[in-house]
Structure 1
Amino acid sequence: MTPTNLPRWTDEAPEPGVPEAPPRHVAIIMDGNGRWAAARGLPRLEGHRRGVEALRKAIRAAHELGVRHLTLYSFSVENWSRPAEEVSDLMNLLRLFIRRDLAELHKANIRIRVIGERGNLPPDILGLLVEAETTTRANTGLDLVVAFNYGARQEIVSAVRRIAEAARDGRLDPAKIDAGLISDHLDTADIPDPDLVIRTSGELRISNFLLWQSAYAEFAFLPMHWPDFDKQAFEEAVASYRSRQRRYGGRLAARAGA
């Protein structure tokens, strides 16, 4: 029996126990580009370039492993505080990736979605993101969610503000506010919660990423830096996920004779 406290906004409520299938939704915190470069005496930009190559490998691996949704934490709201030269390099890499890879992603039937704040983005960057979404909107393969200029606390604040405004204007009864309603106002409203969150670089934190959505996720913290991430690392993280028992805050039924 599925626990009643499971989020109602998932595609299909997963059963508790050891997963038999690959995770439907994998979210990745791509961390360690700069440290990868520093360890090799290379400029940070080279680490970011190699990180783009790892991103391509991750998308390909997700498709081959049967993952339905892949969310990539590409640029956080806090990343704007980095040196201006590095931010400029990152924006240029994004421009290059979309211009070079969009046609191939579209051909592979991949749908691109972008979550995060859009109001303060450079016009050309915003235009490229909108182009990627518009071009691939009808695709039915892998759902590639790009968290760009994203912060989970900011996302939750924006959702609560919209709900409060609806209640103030008489369009919403406050008694109707529940977890599902809050989720319906998040950037990920029609995307199932992540089953597995992967972070590279060995850091043991989630850095303001999908705080609400990760309530019941499994986590894999990998010691490698992001440029070293490949299909084998993805497969090992998925194998670890499939070896775990998922309880969603409840208890599994006792086996006969246990």
Structure 2
Amino acid sequence: MRSWIRDRANSVYERLLKGEIDGAPAHVAVIQDGNRRYARKEGEETSEGHREGAETTEALLEWCDELGIEELTLYTFSTENFDRPADQRAVLFDLIEEKLYDFADADRVHEAGVRIRAIGETHRLPTRVREAIDYAESRTEGYDQFHLNIALAYGGRAELLGAVEEIASDVDTGDLDPGEIDVETVENRLYEGPTRDVDLIVRTGGDERTSNFLPWHANGNEAAAYFCAPYWPEFRKIDFLRAIRTYEHRADSWRRTRARRALALVRAVSDAELHTAKGVLRRFRDSLSPRELEDVDVSIDPEHEPGSD
């Protein structure tokens, strides 16, 4: 009876959360933490915690499809994980290999047009895992409806360091002018995989840190972050919907901040800068109250909108 009541309550709450969400982030990154702690709590072998966590990952893919999310990056095996005992690494490699083949052959993956890519120092992985990566990538390379990036042997510092080393080498050989280095120069030397910046990072297991995960794509984009207590195998759709709601609130706050900065500019700048400031304000005017706008003329003139010339 208690289980039935809990399930009914969760169902009702899930519908309420959906009603509070207007849209979804394009790119979500997830740190799947707590598999081993979950297993210890349940009195199970560590390997069982990872296996149950893999089931949560499969459910997450379905939630992303339902909500219209276009890209998902999973922190599956970090460079720090190489420090774990050999038997623990072997269990993880077995599961990663198995799931890569499963995903690559799953009908739902092909029906949904999912492209699978591994990002990280994959050359450090066992041959059998690299072969599974190659199989999954080759089986899905023609798809672009949904991008699934699996971070394997990944470390954000290592990724940035590698990009810097490549740039330094190109400058040293004369193939790159230091004055031409820009954002695109760095991005072209990062791991191939993510197609866009990260909008939301989700971490389970109770820790409130992003652990060297996608620093360029997430921190540079000021991605929203959602930290929650459930271990990864316990992560529910309700938790994911809460994370999406956090992202939306963060995006709303960002728009209000941009609008208020533009409003301050309109009130303070000279005539020469007024056109640009009003153009910014028009883009975000819906984030301000009528009271905030009452003493400022921000009527829209289509012939003089920024970018219309």
TM-score normalised to structure 2 length = 0.73
Greater RCO, 1 or 2 (C-alpha within 8 Å, sep 6+): 1
Residues in 1 aligned to 2:27 and 2:128: alpha-carbon distance in whole angstroms = 30
Which residue number corresponds to residue 91 of structure 1?
Answer: 93
Distance 1:43 1:162, change over 3 A: same
Please list the CA deviations of residues 114-158 of structure 1 after superposition, one character each: whole Å capped at 9, or x if unmatched.
100122221121111011111101112210011011000000011
- Following TM superposition, by how much is the alpha carbon of 1:246 offset from its aligned partner in structure 2, in angstroms? 5.1
Q: Secondary structure at the match of 2:207?
A: coil
Listed as ranges, the gaps of 5+ residues in structure 2 are 1-20, 264-287, 293-309
Which residue number corresponds to residue 125 of structure 1?
Answer: 129
Which residue number corresponds to residue 185 of structure 1?
Answer: 189
**Does structure 2 conserve the Cα–Cα contact (< 8 Å) formed by 1:197 and 1:218?**
yes
Which residue number corresponds to residue 38 of structure 1?
Answer: 40
Instruction: Please identify the structure whose Cα radius of gyration is greater.
Output: 2
Distance 1:156 1:31, change over 3 A: same
> Between Structure 1 and Structure 2, which shows a larger proportion of helix residues?
2
Residues in 1 aligned to 2:71 and 2:259: alpha-carbon distance in whole angstroms = 27
Q: Secondary structure at the match of 2:216?
A: coil
Q: Secondary structure at the match of 1:219?
A: strand
Which residue number corresponds to residue 257 of structure 1?
Answer: 291
Which residue number corresponds to residue 234 of structure 2?
Answer: 228
Residues in 2 aligned to 1:190 and 1:120: alpha-carbon distance in whole angstroms = 20
- Following TM superposition, by how much is the alpha carbon of 1:168 offset from its aligned partner in structure 2, in angstroms? 1.2
Q: Secondary structure at the match of 2:191?
A: coil
1:173-252 to structure 2, matched below 5 A, reads 173-188=177-192, 191-215=195-219, 216-244=222-250, 245=252, 247=254, 251-252=258-259
Residues in 2 aligned to 1:54 and 1:35: alpha-carbon distance in whole angstroms = 15
- Identical residues among aligned pairs (%): 36
TM-score normalised to structure 1 length = 0.87
Distance 1:190 1:84, change over 3 A: closer
- Following TM superposition, by how much is the alpha carbon of 1:107 offset from its aligned partner in structure 2, in angstroms? 3.7
Structural RMSD (CA):
1.8
**Does structure 1 conserve the Cα–Cα contact (< 8 Å) formed by 2:117 and 2:193?**
no
Partner of residue 172 from structure 1, selected from 176, 185, 189: 176
**Does structure 1 conserve the Cα–Cα contact (< 8 Å) formed by 2:119 and 2:193?**
no
Which residue number corresponds to residue 54 of structure 1?
Answer: 56
**Does structure 2 conserve the Cα–Cα contact (< 8 Å) formed by 1:34 and 1:44?**
yes
